[in-house]
Amino acid sequence: MKRIVQELYKSAHVAGHAASAAKTWQRNVSGLAQDSAQKSPSRAQLRAHALQSAVPMIGFGVVDCVVMTQVGSTMDAVLGARLGISSITAAAIGLFCSDSCGVLFGGTIESFAGRLGLPTANLTSEQLEMPETKRVATLGRLVGVQLGVLLGSTTLLLQGGGDADRNSAQETACAADLPSHLAATAAITTAADVVVFSKPGCPFCEEAENMLLASGVAFRKVPHDVHQKNLQELTSSTAAPSIWMHGKYVGNKYIDGGHRRPSHDLAVRRRES
C-alpha cells in the first residue's frame, strides 16, 4: 500500500512539473511574438523614414540638373563654336561637372536637410534592415531626385530663344520663296541666333569669332567654302566670314554688337564688287 502511494505521488509530481514547463514555454513564445510585433516599424515611422530619405535627394536633383544644363549649354556655345565639338560632348562635360558637384557638396546638402526639423523615425538597427523599411527608403529617394530634377529644369525657361521662335514662321516663308539650293543655305542662317560662315586659317574669320566669344555671344560655325556660291547670291559678297544674326546678314565683321544695318552692308558689298 505504501509503495502504491509513493508511485502516485511521483506521478503527480512529474505531471505538475510538465504542466509548469508547458506554461513557461507558452509565455516565452508569446513574449517572442510580442517582441516581433514591436520590431516591425509603424506607418508613422515609415512615412518619416521616407521623408528623411527624399528631402536630401531633392537637393541633389536640383544641383545635378542645374549644373549639367547650364555648363552643358555654355560648353556647347563656347567650345562648340571654337573647337567644333558636338552637342553630346558638351552634355558629357556638363554631366562630369554635375557629378563632381554632387560629390563635393553632398555633405553640405545632407547637413542642410538635417537642420530642417524633419520628423524622426526612431528606427532600431534591426528595423532599418527590414525589407519594408528598405523599400520605403528607396521609394523616397526616387521620388526626391525626380522632384529635384523637375525643379532644376525650370532654369531652362530662363534661357533665350524666344525671338527665334517668334520669327520662325516668317523665316520659313521667306526660305520657301527661294530656289532649292539657296533655301538650304537660308535655312542654316536661321538655325541659331548667330551663324558664322567661316574659312579655316582665315585671319578675318578668327578675328570675328574671337570678338563674338569675347562679347559672350554664342554662335554656330559653318564652313564657308561649302556655301560660298549660295552666299554670293544671297548677299552679293564672297567675303569671309559671313555673319548672320536672326536670319539677317550683318556683314563680315562684328562691329557694335553686330547691330549694323544689313542694307548698309549689302550696299557696301555691291560697291566693292
Together in a domain, 50 and 154: yes
Q: What angle do CA 114, 63, 45 make, to 5 degrees?
A: 35
CA distances from 116 to 78, 105, 127, 137 (A): 39, 17, 24, 18
Question: Is 83 domain-assigned?
Answer: yes
> Of 98, 125, 158, which residue is a domain's last?
158
Measured CA distances, 255 to 91, 157, 209, 235, 262 (Å): 31, 30, 12, 18, 12
Q: Assess whether 166 and 150 both reside in one domain.
A: no
pLDDT in tens, the chain (273 residues): 556 545 655 565 545 555 565 566 566 655 544 554 457 888 898 999 999 999 999 999 998 888 888 888 777 766 665 666 677 777 888 888 888 888 888 888 888 888 888 888 888 888 888 999 999 999 999 999 999 999 988 887 776 544 444 444 444 445 556 677 788 888 888 888 899 999 988 888 888 888 888 888 888 899 988 888 888 888 888 888 999 988 888 887 765 444 443 333 433 343 444
Q: Is residue 8 part of a domain?
A: no
Do 236 and 169 share a domain, yes or no? yes
96, amino acid identity: F
- The grid coordinates listed for 170 are 516668317
pTM (2 decimals)? 0.49
Domain boundary among 158, 177, 204: 158
Q: What is the rounded CA–CA span in Å between residue 211 and residue 254?
A: 7
Q: Which of 127, 142, 158 finishes a domain?
A: 158
Number of folded domains in the chain?
2
